Amino acid sequence: MTERSTKHSTIVLERTYDTSPARVFAAWSNPDALLRWGSPSEGWDVAYERFDFRTGGSDVSRFGPKGGPVFVNETFYQDIVLNTRIVSASNMTSDDKRLFAGLLTVEFIAAGKACRMVMTEQGVFLDGHDKPENHEAGWNEMLDNLGIELKRTQAAA
C-alpha cells in the first residue's frame, strides 16, 4: 500500500516588468504567449488540449521533459479581473497519480510605467510525488522567461 501524505506550502514570487499591467496580463491570458514563456525548464515540451480563459472556464495542459514523464495540469479559473488579477485552482497528475492541488493568485499592479506582479501559489503536495522546491524553481524559471518574452514582444512592436 502507498503511504499517504500531504505537505502544504505557500510560494510568493514578485517581479517588476518594465511594461504595463495590460501587457503582462495579456501574456498570461494568451495560449500562444504562454507556450513561449511557460515552460518550467529548458528542453521541456508544453501543449494545451483546451484553453478557455474566462471566469468559470478551464484549461488542460500537458508538459514534461523530452522523453521523460508527462505531467497533466487542469486549471479552473475562479476569478479574472482584466489587467488586475487572475485566481485559479488547479491539480496536477502524472501516470494517473495526483501530485498536487492548489490555488494560484496573480496580481498585476501599476508601478509608474512598470508592472509589479505578485504571484502566490498555495498548494498541497500529495503522497511525496512532488515538492514545493520543484514548483518554486519552475515558477522562477517561467517568470524569468516571461520577462524575456515581454522584452522580445516590446522590441517587435
Sketch the domain layout of the chain as residue ranges. Answer: 6-156
CB atoms within 10 A of CB 34: 21
Residue 119 has which C-alpha cell? 504571484
Predicted local distance difference test score (pLDDT) of residue 47? 94
DSSP 24: H
Q: Which of 81, 76, 119, 65 is nearest to 101 (CA)?
A: 76
Give the C-alpha separation, 74 to 94, whole Å: 12
Which amino acid belongs to residue 93?
A: T
Residue 122 clears pLDDT 90, i.e. is over it: yes
Domain boundaries 6-156, CATH class: alpha beta
Residue 153's pLDDT band, with cuts at 50, 70 and 90, is confident
Mean pLDDT of the chain: 95
pLDDT in tens, 88-105: 999 999 999 999 999 999
DSSP 107: E
pLDDT in tens, 66-86: 999 999 999 999 999 999 999
- What percent of the chain is modeled with pLDDT above 70? 98
Predicted local distance difference test score (pLDDT) of residue 1? 43
Give the C-alpha separation, 11 to 107, whole Å: 14
